[in-house]
């Protein structure tokens, strides 16, 4: 299947999980925008990649025949949104997202979940505050004002994506 899928949602909404499921089912490459936006080779947490490096890597991805891109980012992704066949917006309840954020942090700190991320307790608290604003303001504003409204599909259950993909 040749399809380009962009998945948006807050931290802990299930973007990575559903992108991995789609990758397995459809055999389409999956890209996590955190790997493009952040410099994971930096010695500390929260260092951004240069805009030119980030944009170059995104260009390489969107020029492929099929892809699944997932992340929270909006502002620098017009090429991804314009190339996408469908833009799924995960509307997972914030309480579930926050539970997942804490669980992921605890698993990374204990070594149960391998990660290149170097989070701190303070950075997780900042993420939770940022995520609330993202879900309550940034994401609704994007949906309301987007030039890509005809591609946006809002879902509450990640598995709903399969219904939309198989009906293509």
Given this model, what pLDDT does residue 123 score?
A: 87
Helical axes 94-110 vs 121-133, angle rounded to 10°: 160
Tokens 């991805």 — which residue?
61
Cross-strand partners of 4: 67
Distance CA 10, CA 134 (A): 7
Q: What does the pLDDT average to over 98-123?
A: 84
Given this model, what pLDDT does residue 65 score?
A: 95
pLDDT reading at 52 higher than 60: yes
Given this model, what pLDDT does residue 5 score?
A: 95
Given this model, what pLDDT does residue 31 score?
A: 96
pLDDT band of 138, cuts 50, 70, 90: very high
Give backbone dihedrals phi and psi of 77, rounded to 5 degrees, phi first.
Answer: -115, 25
Higher-confidence residue of 54 and 41: namely 54
Q: What does the pLDDT average to over 104-132?
A: 85
pTM for the whole thing? 0.88
DSSP conformation letters of 67-92:
EEEEES--TT-HHHHHH-SEEEEE--
Low-confidence winner among 3-12, 18-27, 34-43, 54-63 (lowest mean pLDDT): 34-43
Distance CA 168, CA 166 (A): 5
pLDDT reading at 118 higher than 90: no
């Amino acid at each position: 299947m040749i399809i380009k899928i962009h998945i948006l949602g807050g931290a802990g909404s299930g973007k990575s999980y559903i992108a991995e499921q789609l990758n397995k089912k459809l055999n389409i490459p999956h890209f996590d925008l955190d790997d493009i936006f952040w410099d994971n080779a930096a010695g500390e947490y929260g260092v951004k990649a240069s805009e030119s490096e980030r944009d170059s890597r995104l260009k390489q991805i969107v020029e492929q025949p099929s892809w699944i891109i997932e992340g929270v980012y909006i502002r620098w992704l017009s090429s991804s949104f314009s190339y996408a066949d469908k833009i799924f917006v995960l509307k997972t309840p914030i309480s579930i997202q926050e539970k997942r954020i804490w669980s992921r942090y605890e698993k990374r700190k204990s070594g149960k979940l391998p990660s290149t991320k170097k989070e701190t307790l303070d950075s997780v608290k900042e993420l939770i505050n940022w995520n609330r604003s993202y879900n309550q303001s940034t994401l609704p504003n994007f949906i309301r004002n987007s030039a890509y409204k005809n591609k946006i599909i809002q879902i509450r259950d990640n598995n709903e994506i399969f219904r939309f993909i198989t009906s293509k």
